[in-house]
Amino acid sequence: MASDAELAEWLSNMAKAVGATQAHTMVQHYILRDMLIQLAGAQDKPEAYIAAMFERVSSLVDQCELAGKPEVEAEMRWYAESFFTAAGKAAAKP
């Protein structure tokens, strides 16, 4: 049985790992969002480009190994919708 100190250390390490993962994910989010906005801005119809990409990504979400796990699938769909909606609004700004 692990001691309280060992459990506290393990919990501290897990919290640091989750924090680091969140930091990496946020940076990746902003990189991808900026790239998408730039790509869309180079198109004749930026909103249509973003909408088409959303459809392609949604299709991939439907096919991934996490499809069929309702809570995870709902989170992926919510994130994709939020991401592409925000990118579409940013791309539409002059």
**pTM > 0.85: yes or no:** no
Whether 53 maps to a domain, the answer reads yes
Say what the pLDDT of residue 47 is.
Answer: 92
CA distances from 72 to 4, 5, 14, 44 (A): 32, 33, 21, 35
| Residue 20 domain-assigned (yes or no) | no
Judge whether 15 lies within some domain: no
| Number of domains the chain is built from | 1
pLDDT along the chain (94 residues), means of 10: 89 96 96 96 94 94 86 92 94 79
Residue 25, pLDDT score: 95
Domain extent at residue 58:
26-92
Do 39 and 84 touch, CB atoms closer than 8 A? Answer: no
DSSP letter at 66 equals: T
Q: Is residue 72 domain-resident?
A: yes
Asked if residue 83 belongs to a domain, the reply is: yes
Q: Is residue 76 part of a domain?
A: yes
